[in-house]
Structure 1
Amino acid sequence: MKEITDIVNAFDEAIKQGKKTALATVVSVEGSAYRRAGARMLITEDGQLTGAISGGCLEGDALRKARLVILQQEPLLVTYDTTDDDDAKLGVGLGCNGIIHILIEPVSDKHDPIRLLKVIVASKQPAVLVTLFSVDDRKARQPGTCLGLTNDGVMTANTISYPYAGQLLADANEVLNNKRSEHPTYTDGVIYTAFVEYIKPTIALVVIGAGNDAIPLTRIAAVLGWDTTVMDGRQNYLLAERFPQANRLIVARPEEVLQHLQITEWTAFVLMTHNYNYEQALLAELIPLGLPYIGVLGPRKKLERMLDELQSTGMSISDEQRGNLYGPTGLDIGSEGADEIALSIVAEIKAVLSSRNGASLKYKQESIHATDQ
């Protein structure tokens, strides 16, 4: 989602400067590639690039083709085939073994895929984006990014009609429900493929505690584009100059925390106030919500004592709820100091919300992205 947000911001700046743009999207990958389907890059007519469609080896060639697309105002499907080991003939060194299909679209009043990206970013919900293209007939019309879908409704990028509208909407609804991207095909003379992409919303990180050790946590989260809130009961700790990269700072007692937040399945909490009573009172509020990640800084014995005391008051805590509690919070990477601890916490949150175990890729037997949606 951060890449999409960066593209939206870069597009707005390009418009201010009167620059024409094109959007390059990896719509399909066969075999191995550095970026997967859904990678995007905004290209301005003067060569500014935002986002990435490869590890840096395709960007130069894509820039040349994007300038042609901007000039002709027609989408172009480009394929890079590196299944032949001699990829030097392409003029790029991909270092992988796959076929990468990239659709480059001009952005205009008639066809504005960026508008769909803006709605998706603003919605803070899971969304689906549909990009229609034809590998079978490259001279056929390439409709491009044509349809967006969130729980709030349907959006279109075109002022002109696009083929298979009804089928595309049905497939988009199915992907939104199943939370898994698909590549259905349609045929009526020309064979079209749709990249029906499931887009996860931005992770919302709520840091409870505004001590010095919370500062690097918000900095790393900002690099990833996470929506970060810092909350504490101490007004003098919650200062903008201490947390310049946090999205919001809120003073609240434990029983007031939830009043200030919109909780979703992409919300993660980290409790690091170093205040036993505050965190115990807050856990009583958070545990019943079934949140995917609640991290508690400090030793395991501290968390177990909190839970025992909560249960002694009559509170019921299920095994599933215990499974969503991470204390000590963070991955075991040998962290020393606040910066490294923050790194381990962010890595664990990302692993949990991606349904991964945080193990080294060295020991992964299948493809790195084999289980991705």
Structure 2
Amino acid sequence: MNFEELSLLIEQQLDPSSMVARLFELNGFGGGDRSNDLMVVAGRQRYGSVLSPSLGSRLIAEGMTEEPNTLSLDIGDREAVASGLACGGSVRVMVHPWAWLPDIRPHVGARRPFALVTALDAQSRPIGIQVATIDLPGDGPGTQQAAELLARGRAGVSVLASEQLTLHIHCFIPSSRLVVIGGGVLAKALQIQGDLLGIEVTQLGQGEKPPLVGRSDGVVVLDHDHDHVTPVLHHILQDTEVSYVGSLGSRGTQEERRRRLLECNCVEHLGRVYGPAGLDIGSRSTAETSVAIIAEMISVLRGRSAASLRAVQGPING
């Protein structure tokens, strides 16, 4: 279950007695959609799934107790293949009441990435859940590691194990949005790039209010009408947690935008503006400029330097 699906579920105002099943450990299976990692059972309604719909039915049939617990199930090859998996295997699932979750509504409402950090004892029984964000990781076990995973854009489940304690880190990160202020051929090129990458692109015309943006989102200013752009840009910088703000235009245009924002007492946020927008890849065409801008946005969202992979150490993905 991704961030958006969980957001819709929270709006349902579920009964606190609803039960939650969360993916804990996988062995085998090969391919398949590993984003099916959370299921909620509310009365006769079922939301989401754990690995496959058939496994969810088995979990319900074999008992999702009201006490926090973990269940182990084997899945044969036939059942696995019917569910879109390559082969069979075994799975461990954590179950607990919905009311056992901490309050995540403020983070969902602000489109803020967050993680649920669940501690399990030596017998793999859940003993408590904490919520962590990038800026407020908390001081509990595993919360700092959760903040680091969030900063790298790592959605999904990670497990940290020791002899005394196992930590289940479940990261929820909104799908990225890009708000483009202005129009023209570059706006169209950014739309094409966004469609390719699964980024929701919204083009903002004069007088239109920007949609809600958060830590996983970006804004690109193409419009050179400072009277129109400055109040919108001031609002975005002052009142949202958006990570990437790109500003198109010459050095002179950037200086004028900076001067206007200073007049709006926005000095503490000027460092968040990337202007001129885009990575230095020698762009010559509109299409290449859109690639440079989107690539810079992704590098900022993932906390990466945008250097050549040949020149850096560590993992090459996310």
TM range (shorter): 0.5 to 0.7
Aligned match of 1:4: 3
Aligned match of 1:122: 109
Aligned match of 1:96: 86
Is structure 2 residue 256 aligned with structure 1 residue 281?
A: no
Cα offset, 1:21, TM superposition: 2.7
Deviations 1:175-204 (A, max 9, x none): 42474675322445xxx4212345545535
Is structure 2 residue 61 aligned with structure 1 residue 61?
A: no
- Describe the shift of the 1:63–1:292 C-alpha distance in structure 2 as closer, same or farther (beyond 3 A): farther
Hey, what's the Cα distance between the residues in 2 that align with 1:53 and 1:14? 21
2:166 to 183, 193, 204: 193
Q: Which structure 1 segments of 5+ residues have no match?
A: 156-165, 304-325, 332-344, 358-369
SS of equivalent to 1:132: strand
Aligned match of 1:112: 101
1:258 to 228, 233, 250: 233
Aligned match of 2:43: 45
Hey, what's the Cα distance between the residues in 1 that align with 2:275 and 2:317? 18
Identical amino acids, percent of aligned pairs: 15
Contact 1:11 1:21 in 2 (8 A): no
Cα offset, 1:93, TM superposition: 4.1
- Describe the shift of the 1:12–1:253 C-alpha distance in structure 2 as closer, same or farther (beyond 3 A): closer
Hey, what's the Cα distance between the residues in 2 that align with 1:265 and 1:292? 16
Matches for 1:74-89 after TM superposition, within 5 Å: 74-79=67-72, 87-88=77-78
Contact 1:75 1:142 in 2 (8 A): yes
Contact 1:206 1:268 in 2 (8 A): no
Aligned match of 2:267: none
One-letter code aligned to 1:193: T
Hey, what's the Cα distance between the residues in 2 that align with 1:292 and 1:196? 36
Hey, what's the Cα distance between the residues in 2 that align with 1:13 and 1:293? 43
Higher relative contact order (CA 8 A, sep 6+): 2
- Describe the shift of the 1:124–1:149 C-alpha distance in structure 2 as closer, same or farther (beyond 3 A): same
Hey, what's the Cα distance between the residues in 2 that align with 1:247 and 1:74? 38
One-letter code aligned to 2:41: I
Hey, what's the Cα distance between the residues in 1 that align with 2:171 and 2:16? 30
SS of equivalent to 1:261: helix
Contact 1:207 1:214 in 2 (8 A): no
2:142 to 171, 194, 201: 171
Aligned match of 2:126: 142
| TM-score, normalised with respect to structure 2 | 0.59
One-letter code aligned to 1:95: L
Contact 1:183 1:194 in 2 (8 A): yes
Hey, what's the Cα distance between the residues in 2 that align with 1:347 and 1:254? 23
SS of equivalent to 1:48: strand
Cα offset, 1:147, TM superposition: 0.7
Cα offset, 1:346, TM superposition: 7.5
SS of equivalent to 1:207: strand
Is structure 2 residue 290 aligned with structure 1 residue 329?
A: yes
Q: What is the aligned residue count?
A: 274
Contact 2:283 2:289 in 1 (8 A): yes
Deviations 1:239-284 (A, max 9, x none): x8xx9xx44899963444431213767336486xxxx78x973597
Hey, what's the Cα distance between the residues in 1 that align with 2:7 and 2:46? 14
Cα offset, 1:209, TM superposition: 1.5
Cα offset, 1:60, TM superposition: 2.8
- Describe the shift of the 1:289–1:264 C-alpha distance in structure 2 as closer, same or farther (beyond 3 A): same
Cα offset, 1:205, TM superposition: 1.9
Contact 1:267 1:291 in 2 (8 A): yes
One-letter code aligned to 2:160: P
| TM-score, normalised with respect to structure 1 | 0.52
Contact 1:125 1:201 in 2 (8 A): yes
Contact 1:184 1:195 in 2 (8 A): yes
SS of equivalent to 2:179: strand
